[in-house]
Amino acid sequence: MSQISLRFPLLLAAAIFAWFPVATWPQPVPQESKAEFHAQQLRPDLHVLTGGGGNVAVWSGPDGIVLVDDSLEQLSPALLEAVARIAPGAVRFVVNTHWHPDHTGGNERIGRAGGVLLAHDNVRARMREPQFVEAYELDVPASPEAALPIITFADAVALHLNGDQLLASHVVAAHTDGDLVVSWEEANVVHVGDVFYNGAYPFIDLSSGGSLAGMVAAIELVLARTDGRTIVIPGHGAVSNRAELAAYRDMLVAVGRRVRELIEQGRSEDEILAARPTEEFDERYGKGPMNPDTFVRILYRDLTGRR
């Protein structure tokens, strides 16, 4: 196990953890009451809540409230208060883009209140067992029964509500092995989960079945289904658009190609880091909590198959 684990110095690990962030994923937040979500209206019936864990989409209308992702567990009361300020009533459905605790943390509270939880098959499978996130050497306990998605699927599901259609499509082996991209047909909005960290290098969770190739393929799928007017909600970071998502794909492809070439030249992991394969993109993406070296180490492990 130690042979394949990412032996990051502790401080480095703490720095990249900040993206989740370290103090709140998945440990309780002492300053819970200070948690504040910021609501942004995207379309008449669609809002996004930022400021907690992953970005939460709130779809409301005459047929009820649907959330895409529900942030961190300890922020559940604040999340539901923020949702209530947008629309009255209980949450009817939650769609989880993947299993990570900063995207499924509200499941238990909403599930106990009668909300119906939907996700890919692998999300339920992972949440019901303890998980080990290797890159952060982080143990995540199994989730209680009430937090588990009760409707799961292998490929795609559609919800016909509020005068629109939500389509949740599985993308294979991307950020994890259970990712969904979720689009609204009429509203022309898509929530892409953690296949897109706007303004930062992504975390590709190899130990949860993620891969660079899957990240790129997932973004290609979204690009094929969207246009210049589509609003793109990333898993983390500011609300975005198709052009920025395409640039993100270009970055992933370019850095992946460089790392692969260096591997084929027989360079060691440290030599590849020293060659700075992300340099061209560091100004735009390298200032987030996922620093360039950690991103390259993850790519190295992915592309050499050393998981």
Binding footprint of Zn ion on the chain (CB under 5 A)? 100, 194
Closest approach of Zn ion to the CB of residue 176, in Å: 7
Nearer to Zn ion, 131 or 183 (CB): 131
Nearer to Zn ion, 157 or 192 (CB): 192
Closest-approach residue to Zn ion (CB): 100
Closest approach of Zn ion to the CB of residue 113, in Å: 24
> Strands, E, within the chain: which ranges?
38-43, 46-50, 56-59, 65-68, 91-95, 116-120, 131-133, 138-140, 151-153, 156-161, 164-171, 179-184, 189-191, 231-233, 240-241
Nearer to Zn ion, 108 or 194 (CB): 194
Nearer to Zn ion, 100 or 258 (CB): 100
For residue 65, give the nearest of 38, 50, 42, 47 by alpha carbon. Answer: 47
The whole-angstrom separation of Cα 167 and Cα 158 is 4
Closest approach of Zn ion to the CB of residue 100, in Å: 4
Nearer to Zn ion, 115 or 202 (CB): 202
Closest approach of Zn ion to the CB of residue 173, in Å: 14
Per-residue b or e along 48-71, where b marks 16 or more CB atoms closer than 10 Å to that residue's CB: bbbbbbbbbbbbbeeebbbbbbbb
The whole-angstrom separation of Cα 283 and Cα 124 is 38
Token pair of 124 as six digits: 């339920």
* 196 Rama sector, left if φ>0, alpha if ψ -120 to 50, beta otherwise: beta
Closest approach of Zn ion to the CB of residue 31, in Å: 23
